[in-house]
A = this chain, B = another copy of it.
């Protein structure tokens, strides 16, 4: 008997989730059309929507014009009713934001320039900031976090964080999962970014999408079909540690010639220091140095242009590996190094055109998504929203 009840509860949650996902994708819909699309009985829809209305997750709209000019009430997701707090952990940067359920950014703040000794402090600051946000905003229903990969999702730790290994000692599950009155959902950063494109941007509805994160680290998130590619431990699609030269420099992960060694913001910072391109660059943040380098290049400095093109070539080698490994329809290049814009992109595209089979090169769109659109920060919200749509009763009172 107990088993039967659990099964019934599971089924109800499953159907609630189907309704929520359907509304998320389709906007305002009548109960009759939801019932038809999801093959549920009108009675079931009435019951499910009553609970969801009561919870505030959905709302009724004015009359919809139906066939035969009969009017019916529309239902839609109430995207303003709940908020999601999001945290993006990079290496020396942490961004904390607030989003609605449609992925609109409502607030964004940063904790910057931490060095490794400040990590415990930074963790404490994040916790304090989130608690303050939650106290101030009763609508916050979840916290989403994006962390550098390879993130071992069951143990809660990142297996390595090049150039700032001390992050490895942070167990995100232990530090955060029970620290708040709302649930916390944690995902690898680039995978969260890919999910943000999939969930929030109607032009990215296609089912084969890669978010190629080139920031303080180099990461990748891939949507293949209905799902992200995760791997057994959640450590798949770590393009930053796919080697482009088996005899190349030793990476902190143990591998040689990892892509990350050639084109991350950290690698660019080292290169700028070596070339002496920017005064006092040693004492600036990785991001500041990259921004100044791109500014120099855009203003015509030939040494800077050469360096950006060289970086673009390495980013291109990575893109070639991405295409041969994952065959996405679209690759979105994002984060700090995406600030290289068209100059960077044309170097990437050149490598892809030279090194990828013509049929595949022609079928792959590569785009830059500017640093002003931080897919990872939105992605941290996206993973929480995806969970909320899939298991609403864990986030909101719908029972």
Contacts and interface: CB of A to CB of B under 8 A. Distances in A.
Interface residues of A, number: 55
A323 to B, nearest CB: 8
A62 B246 CA distance: 60
Given A11-B39, A247-B245, A232 B328 contact: yes
A399 interface: no
A256 B324 CA distance: 13
A90 interface: no
Nearest to A354: B254
Contacts of A39: 7, 11
Contact of A159 (B224, B253, B357): B357
A159 to B, nearest CB: 5
Contact of A317 (B226, B246, B359, B360): B246
Contacts of A208: 231-232
Interface string A165-208: 00000000000000000000000000000000000000000111
A229 B226 CA distance: 11
Nearest to A229: B224
A234 B159 contact: no
Contacts of A234: 327
7 contacts: A233-B327, A238-B325, A244-B244, A245-B246, A245-B247, A255-B320, A255-B324
B224 A231 contact: yes
A129 B120 CA distance: 69
Contacts of A256: 355
Q: Is the interface of A mostly helix, strand, loop or mixed?
A: loop
Contacts of A53: none
A152 interface: yes
B321 A357 contact: no
B244 A326 contact: no
A92 interface: no
Given A224-B229, A245-B245, A327 B254 contact: no
A356 B227 CA distance: 26
A148 to B, nearest CB: 13
A363 interface: yes
A357 to B, nearest CB: 5
A365 to B, nearest CB: 10
